[in-house]
Amino acid sequence: MAESFQLKAIISAADRATPALKAIAKSAQGTRKYLVDIGNAASGFATKIGLPVGILSTIAAGFSIGAIKNAVTAFAEAGEAIYKGSLKAGLSVEEYQRWSYVAKQSGVEAESLTMGIGKLNRNIGLAAAGKNKDLSGLFQKLGISARDANGQLKAGADLLPALADAFVRNKNPVVQARMGMALFGKAWQEMAPLLMEGGEGIDKMQKRFKLLKSAMDLDTVKGAKEFGDQMKDLEIVTKGFQMTIAKDLVPVLAPMIEEFIQWAAANRKVVA
């Protein structure tokens, strides 16, 4: 009798789920028809313009939903990384992208570049205020001026090529370490591969980046960042929808699951 009751409970639960499942199936059929219509329309369009369907399919594959999602996500993430990185390093968005390219080609991580240039800017400011005598002495010894013709302090990025030349000239690792600590603090070791490119190597990579014309302008970077912020908001809203749906489904699903557990426990031999 117990087994019969449990079996009836499972059948009853399945019956309750049937309307929802039918609705999903109907929606899926409609979606399939929509996709078929799109496919037929694409084929007709390809015939009219004389483009082989195979080539059109190949092009479409590159712009699949998944590919578009990945491209959009990458665009938003790149914009935000450039925007935040430029602020931390004290560079314009174009300068930051150029230096990021140089760093990547040298084997230096973008985060290490940002931290290194940020430390260099800070230390230059301290040296100008007489609070970093080691760096002031180093600049004097190397014949590098921290100020431009108008007496304004130069940005760390502007001094990097000359500083890189100094590292190339001084082969002694102890001297390099002393210079690195004065310039970048403990972050100097992360910057070492870039510095060992020398000023000429840095200049060559910067010209190469300009030739590639892959930099995003300020408006594009800001747009990408704003889009990224909208994506984050969308994620929050989506999770809210999920919680709402789950809240309504749990009271329906929980009894069904419990009924199945009870039936499976009572009919272990049958299930086995």
Q: SS3 letters for 174-227?
A: HHHHHHHHHHHHHHHHHHHHHHCCHHHHHHHHHHHHHHHCCCCCHHHHHHHHHH
Nearest to 169 by CA among 188, 202, 196, 140: 196
CB within 8 Å of 224: residues ≥ 6 apart: 75, 76, 78, 79, 80, 82, 83, 216
How confident is the model at residue 48, as a pLDDT?
46
Is the predicted pLDDT of residue 159 greater than 70, yes or no? yes
User: Could you read off the pLDDT of 164-222 as tens digits, one per residue?
Assistant: 999 999 989 999 999 999 999 888 999 999 999 999 999 999 999 999 988 889 898 98
Cα–Cα distance, 138 to 116 (Å, whole number): 17
How confident is the model at residue 255, as a pLDDT?
84
Give how far Cα 148 sits from Cα of 121, 152, 155, 159, Å: 15, 5, 10, 11
User: Could you read off the pLDDT of 71-124 as tens digits, one per residue?
Assistant: 778 888 888 999 999 999 999 999 999 999 999 999 999 999 999 999 999 999
Structural Rg of the chain based on CA atoms: 32
Residues 83, 76: contact at Cβ < 8 Å? Answer: no
How confident is the model at residue 263, as a pLDDT?
81
Q: Which long-range contacts (CB under 8 A, 24 or more apart) does 6-11 make?
A: 6/259, 6/262, 6/263, 6/266, 6/267, 7/263, 7/267, 9/259, 9/262, 9/263, 10/259, 10/260, 10/263
Q: What's the distance, CA 237 to chain centroid? A: 21
Torsion of CA 25, 30, 32, 38, to 10 degrees: -170
Cα–Cα distance, 179 to 189 (Å, whole number): 11
Q: Report residue 74 as tokens.
A: 């990458």
Q: Is 75 exposed, middle or buried (0-12, 13-18, 19+ CB in 10 A)?
A: middle
How confident is the model at residue 262, as a pLDDT?
85
How confident is the model at residue 65, as a pLDDT?
62
Question: Which residues are bridge partners to 153 per DSSP?
Answer: 147
pTM here is: 0.63
Cα–Cα distance, 134 to 264 (Å, whole number): 77
**Helical packing angle, 198-212 and 156-169, nearest 10°:** 130
How confident is the model at residue 238, as a pLDDT?
84
How confident is the model at residue 169, as a pLDDT?
93
Give how far Cα 38 sits from Cα of 34, 68, 228, 237, Å: 6, 18, 30, 30
Residues 89, 157: contact at Cβ < 8 Å? Answer: yes
How confident is the model at residue 2, as a pLDDT?
46
Q: Which long-range contacts (CB under 8 A, 24 or more apart) does 81-84 make?
A: 81/110, 82/216, 82/221, 82/224, 83/221, 83/222, 83/224, 83/225
| 3-class SS of residue 144 | coil
How confident is the model at residue 4, as a pLDDT?
53
How confident is the model at residue 261, as a pLDDT?
87
User: Could you read off the pLDDT of 1-57 as tens digits, one per residue?
Assistant: 445 544 555 555 555 555 544 554 554 555 455 545 545 554 554 454 444 545 545
User: Could you read off the pLDDT of 123-143 as tens digits, one per residue?
Assistant: 999 999 999 999 999 999 999
